[in-house]
Amino acid sequence: MKNILVISASIFGQQGQSSQLVEKTVANLLAQHPEATITRRDLATDPVPHLTGERFAALLSVESDRTEDQQNVLAYSDALISEIRDADAVVLGVPMYNFGIPSALKAYFDHIARAGVTFRYTENGPVGLLEDRPVYVLAARGGIYEGTANDSQTPYIRSFLGFLGLNGVQIVYAEGLNMGNSQKHDALTKAESRIDALTA
């Protein structure tokens, strides 16, 4: 493993529980692969612009007709895609906000989903163009949602990443973090044990 892409999306930065689980995962991976380089993208401190009509048009524009602004949007998207394409593993911190993923993460996803670049449509449906690799998702939630109808994150993340060709998704849950100190301690301990098992 040469390159690890680390994506954090907590509005609380490194104090967020998902961010701390991200760091635990990265430390474990580096212990196994000390030669690996880390590329970090903190979507809270360096947010990806939300998709607008103008940005969407730029992503669909024909090269010969692109304006300078459209070229800049494409270059930005290309850089994000290069980061994930070059990574041998992805570590993704995903807190739950109002039953969904952070809007900053959705904006990131919108910029790496590019027809003909990270996926293509065929007669048999869409095909992801990214080579599969391990994706470690650290999901921190204030309540307990895993396996319930209110867990909209899990199916969405699996569907979106699979759409791009990333099917090796491992999700580690830390749930009930706002349900008392005992529950929080137990949830984080369980999550850390799961990380140890996945990265051994």
CATH at 137 = 3.40.50.360
pLDDT of residue 27: 98
Backbone angles phi, psi at 184, to 5 degrees: -60, -45
Report the 10 Å Cβ neighbour count for 23: 15
For the chain, 200 residues long, the average pLDDT of each consecutive 10-residue run is 96 94 98 97 96 95 92 97 98 97 97 96 95 98 96 97 97 97 97 97
> What pLDDT score was predicted for residue 170?
98
What's the number of domains the chain is made of?
1
Q: Which one-letter amino acid corresponds to residue 159?
A: S
Residues 6+ apart with CB under 8 A from 44: 8, 9, 10, 11, 12, 13, 104
Give residue 73's pLDDT.
97
Question: Taking a C-beta distance cutoff of 8 angstroms, is the pair 183, 176 a contact?
Answer: yes
Tokens of 114: 């590019």
The two counts, helices (H) then strands (E), for the chain are 6, 7
CA dihedral 128, 126, 153, 111 (to 10 degrees): 60
CA distance 96 to 103: 10
**What does the pLDDT read at residue 153?**
97
| Full domain range(s) for residue 126 | 3-199
Q: How much is the pLDDT for 39?
A: 98
Looking at residue 127, its pLDDT comes to 97
